[in-house]
Amino acid sequence: KQKILIDTDPGVDDAMAIFFACVHPDIDVVGMTGVFGNVTVDIAARNAIVLAERAEQDIPVARGADVPLVQTPNPVSDYVHGEQGFGDIPAQPTRAEILDETAAEFICRLINENPGEISLCPIGPLTNIALALQLDPTIAQKVKNVVIMGGSLREGGNVTAHAEANIWNDPHAADAVFAADWPVVMVGLDVTHRVICTPADFSELAKAAPKLGGFLQDASHFYIRFYEEVVGITGCYLHDPAAVIATLRPELFTIENHPIEVKVDGEEIGKTAISTNPERRAMQICTGIQAETVKELFMDTIKSGF
Ligand code: BDR
Ligand code: CA
């Protein structure tokens, strides 16, 4: 089984990614860490516990950063995911056990205890990951890989013309993560914009797996309304699930190798651009996706749940 640590700001598509990881037989979700982004960090950590409980898994959850490393926080995206993260539906865990460690401490401990085995899968702003690197730079040599939902190479942004939301919410952290000497895979808008989950798909999920699919269907209404009104599509993109899927099945993606740097100020703040700095190592950038197979894998996996 692939051990995955998910850093998250749940979030409707985060919930889709987390349920996928929880249900898939080849994935072991060894921990989750909450970060501000779609919601505040307190709601993020709470929502991660809610999702683990729904999926009937005992996953340790740590609370992470409540603000970006340097910049003034952007407003939370409650107009996209709802004030509490799951659209209109309320979410309260029955047991609220959060680890005493910070997210950065927990990330470092897990990687140190499982050298070479952990895939770190950040699906929110990269603040916790940058803080973990600051705390213990040796994790760079011990992690298996870091598979990030974020950024865009040629697709433009989704919050501004240039920036994707996770990078835009903490560009300094993203740049530190991209500058470090570890194997990073960027699963950005170039590929996540190729896969859409429609209301009919959510109905199918709810029918086959009432507890998990039903939750996703209920949570998706608000999110899909946003996509209809603002983006003009009927359905939502499979952003965060794509990163978990790329961790498990990298062969479903076309990869280009480029060093990337993040614009940390000016009009293009949050843009992920090819770097000419010779000291930057190349990262793996997903630029193509076998969209039908990825969608099918997502659907079949959730449907195999309960
Ligand atoms: C990313 O931003 C968040 O709103 C989503 O959960 C996803 O992680 C997409 O740009
Ligand atoms: Ca997210």
pLDDT in tens, 249-268: 999 999 999 999 999 999 99
Q: Which residues of the chain have pLDDT under 70?
A: 96
Q: Assess whether the C-beta atom of 102 lies below 6 angstroms from ligand 1.
A: no
Q: What is the ipTM of this complex?
A: 0.99
What pLDDT is stored for residue 159 in this prediction?
96
Quick one: residue 232, left, alpha or beta (phi over 0 = left, psi -120 to 50 = alpha)? left
What pLDDT is stored for residue 21 in this prediction?
98
Q: Assess whether the C-beta atom of 165 lies below 6 angstroms from ligand 1.
A: yes
Q: Assess whether the C-beta atom of 146 lies below 6 angstroms from ligand 1.
A: no
239 assigned to active site: yes
Q: Which residues pair with 224 in a beta bridge?
A: none
Q: Could you give the percent of the chain with pLDDT greater than 70?
A: 100
The pLDDT tens digits for 186-238 are: 999 999 999 999 999 999 999 999 999 999 999 999 999 999 999 999 999 99
What pLDDT is stored for residue 77 in this prediction?
80
Please state, as a whole number, how many other Cβ atoms lie within 10 Å of the Cβ of residue 70: 11
What pLDDT is stored for residue 278 in this prediction?
93
What pLDDT is stored for residue 90 in this prediction?
84
* Mutate which of 35, 166, 216, 220 for ligand 1 pocket (most atoms within 8 A of beta carbon): 166
Q: Which residues pair with 3 in a beta bridge?
A: 28, 118
What pLDDT is stored for residue 100 in this prediction?
96
